[in-house]
A and B are shown apart, each in its own frame.
Chain A
Amino acid sequence: MKQWLLQVAALSKLSVLELYRRKDLVVVFLLAIVILLPAAFLAPFGVSGASRYISELAMLLIWLFSIIIGLGVSARLFPPEFESRTIYPLLAKPVARGTVVFGKYLGALTASVSALLVFYLAYAVLVGVRQGEWFTPILFQAVLLHVGFLIIITALTLLGSLVMTPSAALTLSALTVVGMLVFGQRLPALAAAQTGARRWVLYAIHWFAPHVEFFDLRQRLVHAWPCVEWRVCLAVLVYAVCYAGLCLVLAGWAFRRKRL
């Protein structure tokens, strides 16, 4: 077990280092500052004191950047290794293919979550300075569920990168994530409004596609609505772990069957 943990930790570390070496985080962070800083000084009609618009803008950027980083990191886990053939020395070591998949996944997740925590820390400081509210319980819930979101999307993209080309995996994952964020809540109503095959396709999407909209607490956070019940929070996190687990099992199976 200890040996397995050491192997997983070593593989994860590589993915984390990769993110920070590529300076993706610095770029998106600077971009966020460039967008938010002028907006923060806006005094519409000469009236100052509005703060929700800046929170909403900041949250939108956090979500956008977390999707970009999460998908980017997980889509780049295996394809470059196949292309540069560095996967062979890795597999020549006494490490199971399943362990490689899980270790790399954990690395991608750790890298994405570490970037997310930096974003949320900056957000908390911004909100704290502007509104005087530091680290509210709803912010804690928002971070927790956002981590759940990353658990799902990194697993999904990793699976995609093993069964299709990297660009196809990235595009399809991005479409799925954005599509579910926008339409996920309305899928039953949309399906009910259709007839025939379209209706059943929509119901299938509703039942089997990843409901990433569960993890979106922006509205509650920005408009200061009360926290979500903790049992619901737990249910959502269990959903994330189960969905990611299923994706990883399929990814492990695909990696074992892959002809290298």
Chain B
Amino acid sequence: MTQYFQHALVAVGAIVTFAYGQLLPHLFAGRMPQVLGENVVAMLLGDARQEISFALLEKADDYFHGGMRHAECDHELTGAPGKESENCSCAEDGHAHGHDHHHHDHDSDHHHDHDSASAPYGLSFDPWRWINRRVHVQEHRHAEGEDARELLPWLWAACRTSPRNIQAYESSAYVLSRMLKRPHDALKLLEEGVRLNPTSAELEFSLGELALHSLKDPTRAEQAFAAARAKCKPEPGEAGEDARFLQGRILFYLGYLAHQRGDHNQAVGYLAEAIREVPEHVGTRDLRNLLNRQHEDEGKEP
């Protein structure tokens, strides 16, 4: 009898708990600590998600280097976009891109052997160091072609852990479109990134580049660059340096696309804006050269 009573009590307790759980959001609508629709990861990890997401992105970078964390290598999957580019060009292989991993003929340069280096504390030979250098891989290589699939689980996890990690979306889109030749998957991912990060000019810019170079869709590209231009608001001083650099690239692309459409006035308008906002930017210089060339060509025509 007592046992039946206990079972009934447990069942009633379970029903009450379930009902209370269902009622809570209605009773305290708008006053709940969690944001409606947030997933379990978001609720459990909170702001730590961003750090975990960056760690996962670093893991993807390690995979790109054959499992090695290589500080000396310039070819980082997680590098800041476009900083190292010296030219703004719209040619397929030469366009500015922060993740340009295409030419890795220098792998042999990275095959270091430090055995000749003496131990730092005056002893000429350290057997433990000798063993470690032979057991653990010292050189690195770069993932190419289909090998890039191996990066995807970490990139996927980085995007899912923190949808605010813009770098994760950019790197994932780069791997999908450039390395695995799946631009439509990359487009879907970038659109998701834009939806989740509505203020990000970087993602709109990446979307524009993808549409222009991989999907050959200048209309979609122009829409994305225009959206990026609207979202890109550089702060004054050093803090806004990255945004200004991006702004220069956006204006270059917009000017270039307007020029391609034959809308010379709009292209000149973008150049004027670029000269006003980012006069020293390489994109401004290239856009000016492009428009001057057209002007000269028109002058030569009879």
Q: Which residues of A does B touch, CB under 8 Å?
A: 42, 44-47, 49-53, 145, 184-185, 188-189, 191-192, 203, 206-207, 211, 213-217, 219-220, 222-223, 225, 228-229, 232, 235-236, 239
Given contacts A47-B182, A47-B185, contact A53 B154 (CB under 8 A): yes
Question: Which of A42, A46, A185 sits near B132, CB closer than 8 Å?
Answer: A185
In the complex, what residues of B have CB within 8 A of residue A214's CB? Answer: 128, 131-132, 135
Q: Is B134 an interface residue (CB 8 A)?
A: yes
Interface members, chain B 97-136 (any A CB < 8 Å): 119-121, 126, 128-129, 131-132, 134-136
Q: Is B66 an interface residue (CB 8 A)?
A: yes
CB-based nearest B residue for A223: B67
Q: Is B274 an interface residue (CB 8 A)?
A: no
In the complex, what residues of B have CB within 8 A of residue A145's CB? Answer: 135
Q: Is the interface of B mostly helix, strand, loop or mixed?
A: helix
Q: Is B86 an interface residue (CB 8 A)?
A: no
Question: Which of A44, A188, A225 sits near B137, CB closer than 8 Å?
Answer: A225
A199 to chain B, nearest CB (A): 8
Assess whether A44 is in contact with B66, with CB atoms less than 8 Å apart.
Answer: no
Query: How far apart sit A49 and B151, CA to CA, in the bound complex (Å)?
Result: 11
Assess whether B121 is in contact with A47, with CB atoms less than 8 Å apart.
Answer: no
In the complex, what residues of B have CB within 8 A of residue A219's CB? Answer: 67-68, 136-137
Interface members, chain B 117-163 (any A CB < 8 Å): 119-121, 126, 128-129, 131-132, 134-137, 146, 149-157
Assess whether A42 is in contact with B153, with CB atoms less than 8 Å apart.
Answer: yes
Assess whether A225 is in contact with B66, with CB atoms less than 8 Å apart.
Answer: yes
Interface residues on chain B, number (Cβ under 8 Å): 32
Assess whether B121 is in contact with A191, with CB atoms less than 8 Å apart.
Answer: yes
CB-based nearest A residue for B131: A214
Assess whether B156 is in contact with A213, with CB atoms less than 8 Å apart.
Answer: no
A10 to chain B, nearest CB (A): 37
In the complex, what residues of A have CB within 8 A of residue B63's CB? Answer: 52, 223
16 further A-B pairs in the complex, CB-CB below 8 A; given A45-B152, A50-B153, A52-B63: A46-B185, A47-B149, A47-B176, A47-B185, A49-B146, A49-B149, A53-B150, A53-B153, A145-B135, A188-B119, A188-B120, A216-B135, A216-B136, A219-B67, A219-B68, A225-B137
Q: Is B180 an interface residue (CB 8 A)?
A: yes
B144 to chain A, nearest CB (A): 14
CB-based nearest B residue for A192: B120
B57 to chain A, nearest CB (A): 14
In the complex, what residues of A have CB within 8 A of residue B156's CB? Answer: 42, 44-45
In the complex, what residues of A have CB within 8 A of residue B185's CB? Answer: 45-47
Scoring B residues 33 to 63 as 1 if CB is less than 8 Å from chain A, else 0, what string do you get? 0000000000000000000000000000001
22 pairs, CB–CB < 8 Å, chain A vs chain B: A45-B155, A45-B156, A45-B172, A46-B185, A47-B176, A49-B149, A50-B153, A53-B153, A185-B132, A191-B120, A191-B121, A192-B120, A207-B128, A213-B136, A216-B135, A217-B135, A219-B137, A223-B66, A223-B137, A225-B67, A228-B135, A239-B131
A220 to chain B, nearest CB (A): 6
Query: How far apart sit A239 and B150, CA to CA, in the bound complex (Å)?
Result: 35
Q: From A49, A189, A216, A223, name the one whose CB has the most chain B CB atoms within 10 angstroms.
A: A223
Q: Is B194 an interface residue (CB 8 A)?
A: no
Given contacts A206-B128, A228-B135, contact A50 B149 (CB under 8 A): yes
